[in-house]
Amino acid sequence: MERTQELVTYDGLPAAAGGAHALRIRQPERALAAWDRFLAACLLPEAPPEWGMRLLRTGQDADAVSAARAAEETVSATLGGPSARQRALVEWRLPAERLGDALQLLAAASPAAGSAAPASRGQLAITVRASGGLIDPGTGARYPDLSAEHCGGFAVDGYGRKLGVSGIRGTFAAGSSKLSMWLVFPADERLRGAARHVQEHAPVQLSAKHWRRWTLTRTGSGYRSAKLVSPLVSDSTAQSKTVAPPVA
């Protein structure tokens, strides 16, 4: 298979920039609906999205520990035992058909209207991730030359990301939700239309930063990258320079 010579990525957002875009949607149900619309319009997953639930335990005093323990017992009674546990984080697998139950757990854990959530409550959230190929708006299919195979299985980092594969991850909680994206675009004349299509359907504003162009090395054994001006910034700059027609 001939390797793709060039491609463009968008990392929204790297850890240094906060790790994810904040959704300006307080209700988890609405945030999940925005996720569904974005996924349907922009990504063809290679496998069904992976759903989960997590409890981030905050605070070390007796009240905080008691509240976190009660929250963990409540979730486990509904979803079964945790699938992973760390010092401050507990995670559960969430079958897609149990999403309604998870939303009820979020509603029960959220503070009453008009009150602030104390830190001792911990942070309960639904998580989801999906990976695959971006949709070509011209064909409705995945870009044929953007895949891990077309990039020789090149690893972008030590966290499992492969060049050629796009991924999105959502975290949905009462009062705040986040969306992180690793998007892979064609680097040719299709780039501007592809980026515009994603922005039109994304529930967040893509950053003007964090774009990179990846080029196959001379030996063909890997890729090197360099910063790239956002194709969306190019669009907005061109529009701002358009002279308005004279008033009749």
Cα–Cα distance, 93 to 80 (Å, whole number):
9
Tokens of 115: 């009150």
3-state secondary structure of 219: coil
The pLDDT score that the predictor gives to residue 109 is 81
Checking 96-102 for CB contacts under 8 A at 24+ apart, the result is 96/48, 96/49, 96/51, 99/32, 99/51, 99/126, 102/51, 102/53, 102/78, 102/126
Taking the CB of residue 186, how many other CB atoms lie within 10 A of it?
20
Per-10-residue mean pLDDT, the chain, length 248: 94 90 94 97 97 89 85 95 93 97 90 46 87 96 95 91 96 94 97 97 96 96 95 59 35
Q: What are the CA-CA distances from residue 140 to residues 114, 169, 197, 206 (Å)?
A: 44, 22, 11, 22
Q: In this predicted structure, what is the pLDDT of residue 159? A: 82
pLDDT at 122: 61
pLDDT score of 42: 98
The structure tokens listed for 168 are 């999105």
